[in-house]
Amino acid sequence: MKKEKSEFTAALLGNPNSGKTTLFNSLTGATAYVGNWPGVTVEKRSGEFRFKKGGSAEIVDLPGIYSLSPYSPEEEIARSYIIDSRPDVVIDVVDCTNLERNLYLTTQVLETDVPVVIALNMTDALKKEGKAIDASRLSKVLGARVVAISALKGEGLDELMAAAKEAAKEKRKGSSVLPSSDELKEALSIYSSDESEVSSPLFHSIKALERDELEKKANPHLCEKVEKLVEGSGIDYETWIADERYKFIERECSPCLEGKRESEREKLSFSDKVDRVLTNRWAGIPIFVAILFIVFHIVFSEDFLYLSYTGAIQGTFAEGTMWEGLFYADGAIMSPGVIMANFVNCLTGGLTEVVGNWISDPSLVPLRGFICDGILGGLFAVIGFLPQILFLFFFFSILEDSGYMARVAFIFDRIFRRFGLSGRSLLPMIMGFGCSVPAIMNTRTLNGDKERIKTIRVIPFFSCMAKAPILSAVAGTLSADFGWAASDLVALSVYLLGILVAIISVVLMHLTTQREAVPPFVMELPSYHLPQPRALAIHIYDKAKHFFKKAFTIIFLTTIAIWVLSHFSWDYTYLENNQINVSILSDIGRLIQPLFTPLGFGSQLGTAWGWAFAVTAITGLIAKENVIMTMAYLGAAILQIEEFGGSDAEAVGAVVEAITLSGGVVSSGALFAFIMFNVLTVPCFAAVATARSELPSGKIGPTLLFWLLVSYLGGTAFYLMIDWPWTIAIVVALLAAAFAGAFFYDRRKSASEKERA
């Protein structure tokens, strides 16, 4: 079916945290798609809005900005799209609870020749405060249509799009809220003359008065004329124009706000009161850790609720019932995340068995092995932990959409500012908990190359969703077979250690190779609100879509490669599962196995099955999902079954048991080092490609070396400290020496720079 052509294009513009993204999700729903802006890797989101009576409109979500005077790539993109690409209409999203600040951008947009509709968002929040905005009066003041909406509740959206449709049909000339002056009139006449071919001459003439850098590059000849015009006036027009904008907003727009006037005490909103606790200097970080623990307990815990505390349901969850192993085990009910993963594993295991029965002819054993082991076994091992990934992403989306993640950035800004990073860099780091690719792309908002380099290099240490199965599986083995704490506590400790390694790395880079002054950071904390269910559903759908796309491309090809390498010898002889130890894969594993000896999962594991951990670590460099996929495949080969139907932790346990029976020694320190190596090492190929495009020229090589070095040294350190606790003193001493050396290096360089200055 041919896609219907859109009637018009509407660009969503607004301040960060104005509800613009929520409005985009509400308007476009499942039609949204993501790409990149031409020439840059800043995310471009587009979608389609369908009118109830037929017809559609293309919605383009511009980056959140505060001004059309660009200081960041996002502001440049938004300005270029509006002025050069000229959408049919701009929908300016205004947070009506912060009217004066949001309308500053509005006054700039109105100076363009593009039709504008103003969306007064968050009217529901304003109503709770006993206030309202006279939209009709504000419309007359600004000279543009104003529609009151609530993007979160989906109120007023049809009226907004109807107004946008009408505005898109009309031609418009820019208008300014600035007081009339001779200089402004003459600047406008220069840009409106016959020799000028610019669109939106009013906008450009005002930018020329402000001595805007982009304007100088785009129209140098016209800018030069305007500069001569105001030469010798002694007026800083950039400051004067900004001041006049705010004066207009306060004088003309603020009176449109109706309702009770509050005392200083009453001005404290619900968000302000909550922030007194959540952003408290002493309580903020412990609360964040506690929230993470609750999330991990719900997602990963196999001891979610002990049956001794649930006497009323002990009869249902008794030993030997059909529910054992699916809902509960060892006297405890599993967490929702584990239950869903078990359920998916049951379904995929049953499907593999059915396919295997279809191909039961003895002459088709290789084909059955290829399909059941190579294709289905690998893919289903990955799909088996999809529920936990989506659960984790669901909770992180709630934290982000509710406004809490912005507070986390604010809390850690106090710490990171001392280490050479502004709070702005913390936002892409936190995004790294979801996926490293968009997190790395988001570093384009950072001020300088050195801050961008430091941030990109530590983003993988904030464990992404693809690493969750590694944590879940190996942590489950540590808990079940080595007597460690509950697997959710182990997983939480890995996340926290990743953050700690990121801090250490940033400090050392800031004192040595990436020395620079800390850039200023201004961050707006949005009001707390309940996330929109539809927006959450869209987030989860996008994540699942991305996951399946990855599973059926990179991971699909990897599973086939692993099967071929493990079922053929160097002379191309087909091998059964019980012959995997003489396969090409095993020989490759034994070749690289000694490299991991300092990390505990090298030569000390023996040659029979000890190569398994080395192979899985290498396949993880392609995609982190491959680690458990490979481990599950090897677990199936060890147990002589066609497909591993148990949990990921049982797959790891099967490999560990095989190594132990063959005379190798697997220690708890080695398993934890295996986790940390995979968490800290080179991220997936997609993230590496993204980092290459975002880093300055020539920096991808040193960055790859940095990831390998940190993961190798980090894994070695954790292996030694866990298996031989007395080495903790040595590791701490070496780390202190590194800090001392970096500190004195920084002092010497600073003194040298002062002398040259």
Q: What is the dihedral of CA 595, 598, 600, 605, to 10 degrees?
A: 50
In terms of phi and psi (left: phi > 0; alpha: psi -120 to 50; beta: otherwise), the region of 468 is alpha
**Interval 289-345: pLDDT, tens:** 888 788 877 877 766 766 544 444 445 554 545 456 677 766 677 778 778 878 887
Burial tier of 286 (Cβ tally within 10 Å: 0-12, 13-18, 19+): exposed
Q: Is the torsion defined by CA of 267, 273, 276, 278 positive or negative?
A: negative
Compute the mean pLDDT over every residue in the chain, rounded to the nearest whole number: 80
d(CA 353, CA 466): 27
Q: Residue 585: is its pLDDT beyond 60?
A: yes
Cα gap 456→706, rounded to integer Å: 11
| Separation between Cα atoms, residue 558 and residue 315, nearest integer Å | 45
Which of 412, 409, 456 has its CA nearest to residue 437? Answer: 456
Q: How many residues are recorded in the chain?
A: 757
E strands, 190-285, in order: 257-259
What is the mean predicted confidence (pLDDT) over 269-274?
74
Average pLDDT for 7-26: 86
List the single range of 86-90, 112-116, 347-351 with lowest mean pLDDT.
347-351
pTM more than 0.85: no
C-beta separation of 334 from 345 below 8 A = no
Structural domain 182-257, CATH architecture: Orthogonal Bundle (1.10)
Q: Rounded to whole angstroms, how far apart are CA atoms 380 and 628? A: 11
Within 10 A of 249 (CB to CB), how many other CB atoms are there?
21
127, two tokens? 């109503």
At 546, the pLDDT band (50, 70, 90 cuts) reads: low
* pLDDT recorded at residue 37: 44
The yes-or-no verdict on residue 346 having pLDDT over 70 is: yes
Scored b (16 or more CB within 10 A) or e, 380-413 reads bbbbbbbbbbbbbbbbbbbbbbbbbbbbbbbbbb
Instruction: Give domain limits for the chain.
Output: 182-257, 273-299+339-499+544-716, 303-334
Contact 626, 619 (CB under 8 A): yes
Residue-wise pLDDT for 430-454, tens only, equals: 767 766 776 787 676 676 788 889 9
CB 172 within 8 A of CB 161: no
Task: Determine the pLDDT at residue 355.
Answer: 85
490 φ/ψ angles, rounded to the nearest 5 degrees: -65, -45
Which residue is associated with the tokens 């543009």? 144
Checking DSSP bridges between strand 43-50 and strand 33-36, what pairing results, if any?
antiparallel
Taking the C-alpha atoms of residue 69 and residue 66, their distance in angstroms, rounded to an integer, is 9
Helices (H) and strands (E) in the chain, counts: 33, 12
Query: What is the per-residue pLDDT across 134-152, written as a single tens digit (0 to 9) for each?
Result: 999 999 999 999 999 988 7
What mean pLDDT is predicted for residues 241-247?
A: 89
Confidence (pLDDT) at 648: 62
Cα torsion 424, 426, 430, 432: sign: positive
Radius of gyration of the chain (CA): 30
- In eight-state DSSP terms, residue 517 is P
Q: Bridge partners of 97?
A: none
First to last CA, the chain: 68
